[in-house]
Amino acid sequence: MRSLTIRRPDDWHLHLRDGAMMEGVIGDTSRHFARAIIMPNLVPPVVTTADARAYRERIVNAIPDGDTFEPLMTLYLTEGTSPDDLEEGKASGLITAVKLYPAGATTNSHGGVRDFEKAMPALERMAKIGLPLCVHGEVTTPDVDIFDREKVFIDTVLDPLRKRLPELKVTMEHVTTSDGIDYIKSAESNLAGSITTHHLIINRNAILVGGIRPHYYCLPVAKRESHRLALRAAATSGDRRFFLGTDSAPHIDPLKECGCGCAGIYTSINTMSCLAHVFEQDNALDRLEAFASLNGPAWYGLPANDETITLVRRDEPVDFPAKIETGAGTVTVFDPMFPLHWDVA
């Protein structure tokens, strides 16, 4: 196959940051993606509908001329989140979902949830009104190994929550383990999962073999090869419960290349090329549209995009920049460690 036309894709998990960084990276998303669920972990975080409205306005003002792109806004769940504000945000059409960060789980998550009982009024209201919960599915208990955090979260947090509120619609974001894949598959309803570009390509060796390579460090951290293969099997299967959420997360190089580097991998610029490579390797190009363009909208109750994009397989590798320059500083682009021949025409 030399070309493939699919519905224009969406990104169901995206970090745009704010200010100069957002202005520097948003074009890499709006060029290819029609919509994206925007993460709320700014400093300070997006915790109210008023915060989300103001942030959305800043995003819209930064979209490059000629691009059409719709930011889908989320709120950062705290122990003091107002159930009434959530309901008003959903009713207004502004709020698409609410994001759960266990406190300390990832970048700017220190204001996340520690005591789930305190967040229960908000979660109960979300279940009642059909507002989805997007979860960063890791525990942060110090005695739990970082490679086991997702499994322990499923066992000790997510499964009890879903049994308590079975009508709550939950997205397990950036699933990284076969345990997560199996748990989603076992659910009868109200559970789906997003999978990132980079977790389909790298395992934990990419971070550690041959020296510490900080630009492959993310949270949740990449796991064993057996988990990566489980993610690929799920993504390329066509199963409607799995869809693309890049978790593209730009950090300037000095914050990655330091003694305590930030977690995050920047993939927006080359995601579609990477995905086409993965799906071609797995003889599943005919299912790329489901993963990138159809399953996500169906899960969130939105129509698939009418527009299309065409991917073309070039004879020579596509030349992506190793780094991009933003007003906030230099950001390193994800290197999949193999040549990319698929390009968005």
Residue 247 is among the residues annotated as catalytic for this protein: yes
Mean pLDDT of 156-177: 98
Helix (H, G, I), strand (E, B) or coil at 96: strand
pLDDT of residue 316: 98
The answer to whether residue 127 scores a pLDDT higher than 90 is: yes
Enter the tokens of residue 189. 């309803």
pLDDT of residue 288: 98
pLDDT of residue 192: 98
Residue % of the chain over a pLDDT of 90: 95
- Sequence spans of domains, the chain: 3-344
Mean pLDDT of 119-148: 97
The answer to whether residue 141 scores a pLDDT higher than 80 is: yes
- Backbone phi, then psi, for 288, in 5-degree steps? -65, -40
pLDDT of residue 112: 85
Q: Could you read off the pLDDT of 13-56 as tens digits, one per residue?
A: 999 999 999 999 999 999 999 999 999 999 999 999 999 999 99
Q: At 111, is the pLDDT very low, low, confident or very high (cuts 50, 70, 90)?
A: confident
Q: Which residues pair with 130 in a beta bridge?
A: none
pLDDT of residue 93: 98
Catalytic residue among 11, 51, 179, 247: 247
The answer to whether residue 110 scores a pLDDT higher than 90 is: no
Mean pLDDT of 179-189: 97
* Sign of the dihedral through C-alpha 197, 199, 203, 209: positive
pLDDT of residue 19: 98
Tell whether omega for the bond before 220 is within 30 degrees of 0, i.e. cis: yes
What count of Cα atoms within 13 Å lies in the side-chain half-sphere of residue 197? 29
Mean pLDDT of 191-200: 98
Q: pTM, whole model, 2 decimals?
A: 0.97
pLDDT of residue 109: 72
Enter the tokens of residue 278. 């993965």
CA distance 244 to 125: 27
- Do residues 38 and 16 lie in contact, with contact meaning Cβ atoms separated by under 8 Å? yes
CA distance 92 to 98: 15
Q: Which CATH number fits domain 3-344: 3.20.10.10, 3.40.190.10, 3.40.718.10, 3.20.20.140?
A: 3.20.20.140
Helix (H, G, I), strand (E, B) or coil at 156: helix
